[in-house]
């Protein structure tokens, strides 16, 4: 069957979703709620293309081609619609892609990752992430930016880093071992530029970190502040702001490539912020990052499910269904809502 794409003729199969034929021919069409050969329902609308004959925008993931169809994939109008779809998804998504402390560190220390290892009791790994970088003479903008400060007091980042330097390296000879481990420790949370193993094609082009889209947790309500105090009582008091699923996040990739740097609309999500559900030993689900694409629902039997309807709809995992969820499903999730904590 013949169709026209951006004024060029294209041979397509009438049985293959439009998005597949377009991608196979080299057209760049993003998707969030679609994964090839998986069950899905169109909901995200980031795969929109224009049907020139009807003048309508159509989701290419769930449209079969028709003889003589004329499609546009790259006009301002199409790109604008996709961007708007992304903005709407982001308005319902409450999380920090990167921790504020890490973003502002003038010496490039991944403060959040050091503190994550610290709270897990992995002092050597914490020291490996810290490396030889010193905080001497620095005015600690990390402590001014610290999100815990909006709850009560900032995390004492400098003294914790000093402790890591002192105790993580104090065993004679360990410095060498620590250095050797540095690469491995830094890779434990792959950067968004790491090759992506998910079934979604990642359109992220290499950019400096500062050029990436960065979602924000925003202000806490008084009730949320109380919740944070009760949840984060470990010695560091760190809220562990950085998204652990950011390395595989298609939402962030697409927002970055669409030129979005911060969410345009206020974040409306009413889901409990920083709620962390251990689905299995290896899988974690954080509902406030879920865009309700449904891929985990449609592709697990008796696993994830939708609860409620309309704006209040959310994806839940009943306690008795957790054992039905396989590791594989984390690879389908196009955000950092569902991620694997161990490789």
31 interacts with, out of ligand SF4, ligand FES, none, CB within 5 to 8 A per kind: ligand FES
Alpha-carbon span 8 to 14, nearest angstrom: 18
CB of 23 within 8 A of CB of 29?
A: yes
Among 31, 43, 73, 215, interactor with ligand SF4 by CB under 6 A: 215
> What is the arrangement of strands in the sheet containing 277-278, beginning at the earlier edge strand?
277-278, 283-285, 338-340
Among 10, 129, 155, 267, interactor with ligand SF4 by CB under 6 A: 155
Q: Which residues contact 309 (CB under 8 A, 6 or more apart)?
A: none
Q: What are the beta bridge partners of residue 57?
A: 50
Q: What are the beta bridge partners of residue 48?
A: 59
Stretch binding ligand SF4 (CB under 6 A), from 73-81, 163-171, 290-298, 319-327: 290-298
What residue ranges bind ligand FES (CB under 6 A)?
Answer: 31-34, 42-47, 59, 61
Q: How far is the CB of 117 from ligand SF4 (least distance, A)?
A: 12
Among 47, 78, 135, 293, interactor with ligand SF4 by CB under 6 A: 293
Site for ligand SF4 in 123-152 (CB under 6 A): 146-148
Structure-token match 């909006």, residue found: 150
Among 251, 254, 267, 325, interactor with ligand SF4 by CB under 6 A: 251
> What is the β-pairing status of strands 305-307 and 277-278?
unpaired
Q: Which is nearer to ligand SF4, 78 or 109 (CB)?
A: 109
Q: Which residues contact 172 (CB under 8 A, 6 or more apart)?
A: none
Task: Give exposure, 73-106, as e/b (b: 16+ Cβ within 10 Å).
Answer: beeeebeebbbebbebbbebbbbbbbbbbbbebe
Alpha-carbon span 29 to 74, nearest angstrom: 9
Q: How far is the CB of 35 from ligand FES (least distance, A)?
A: 9
71 interacts with, out of ligand FES, ligand SF4, none, CB within 5 to 8 A per kind: none
CB of 333 within 8 A of CB of 325?
A: no
Structure-token match 């009807």, residue found: 54
Query: What does DSSP assign to residue 58?
Result: E
289 interacts with, out of ligand SF4, ligand FES, none, CB within 5 to 8 A per kind: ligand SF4
x-marked contacts with ligand SF4 along 18-47 as a string, rule CB under 6 A: ------------------------------
Q: How far is the CB of 322 from ligand SF4 (least distance, A)?
A: 14
Q: How far is the CB of 49 from ligand SF4 (least distance, A)?
A: 22
Stretch binding ligand SF4 (CB under 6 A), from 37-45, 117-125, 131-139, 249-257: 249-257
Alpha-carbon span 212 to 102, nearest angstrom: 14
185 interacts with, out of ligand FES, ligand SF4, none, CB within 5 to 8 A per kind: none
Among 30, 59, 100, 263, interactor with ligand SF4 by CB under 6 A: 100
Alpha-carbon span 182 to 128, nearest angstrom: 5
State yes or no: residue 95 binds ligand SF4 (CB under 6 A).
yes
Q: Which is nearer to ligand FES, 44 or 69 (CB)?
A: 44
Q: Can you tell me whether residue 327 is helix, strand or coil? A: coil
Q: How far is the CB of 51 from ligand SF4 (least distance, A)?
A: 27
Q: Which residues contact 264 (CB under 8 A, 6 or more apart)?
A: 87, 90, 91
In the complex, which residues of this chain contact ligand SF4 (CB under 6 A)? Answer: 93, 95, 97, 99-101, 111-112, 115, 146-148, 155, 157, 215, 238-241, 243, 245-246, 249, 251-252, 289-296, 304, 315, 332-333, 335-338
């Amino acid at each position: 069957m013949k169709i026209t794409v951006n004024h060029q003729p294209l041979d397509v199969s009438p049985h293959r979703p439009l998005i597949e034929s377009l991608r196979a021919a080299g057209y760049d069409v993003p998707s969030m709620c679609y994964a090839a050969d998986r069950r899905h329902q169109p909901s995200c609308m980031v795969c929109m293309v224009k049907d020139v004959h009807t003048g309508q925008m159509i989701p290419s993931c769930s449209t079969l081609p028709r003889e003589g169809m004329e499609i546009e994939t790259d006009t301002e109008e199409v790109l604008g619609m996709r961007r708007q779809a992304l903005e709407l998804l982001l308005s319902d998504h409450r999380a920090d892609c990167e921790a504020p402390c890490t973003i502002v560190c003038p010496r490039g220390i991944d403060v959040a990752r050091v503190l994550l290892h610290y709270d897990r009791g992995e002092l050597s790994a914490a020291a490996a992430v810290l490396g030889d970088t010193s905080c001497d003479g620095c005015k600690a903008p990390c402590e001014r930016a610290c999100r815990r400060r909006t709850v009560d007091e900032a995390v004492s980042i400098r003294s914790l880093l000093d402790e890591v330097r002192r105790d993580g390296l104090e065993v004679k000879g360990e410095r060498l071992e620590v250095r050797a481990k540095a690469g491995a420790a830094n890779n434990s949370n792959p950067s968004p530029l790491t090759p992506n193993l998910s079934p979604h094609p990642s359109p992220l082009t290499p950019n400096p970190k500062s050029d990436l889209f960065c979602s924000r947790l925003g202000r806490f309500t008084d009730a949320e502040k109380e919740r944070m105090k009760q949840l984060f009582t470990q010695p560091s008091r760190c809220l562990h702001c950085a998204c652990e699923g950011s390395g595989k996040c298609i939402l962030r990739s697409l927002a970055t490539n669409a030129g979005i740097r911060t969410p345009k609309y206020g974040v409306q999500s009413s889901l409990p912020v920083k709620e962390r559900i251990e689905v299995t030993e290896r899988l974690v689900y954080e509902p406030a990052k879920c865009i309700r694409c449904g891929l985990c629902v449609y592709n697990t039997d008796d696993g994830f499910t939708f609860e409620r309807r309309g704006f209040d709809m959310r994806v839940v995992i009943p306690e008795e269904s957790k054992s039905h969820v396989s590791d594989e499903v984390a690879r389908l999730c196009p955000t950092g809502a569902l991620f694997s904590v161990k490789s």
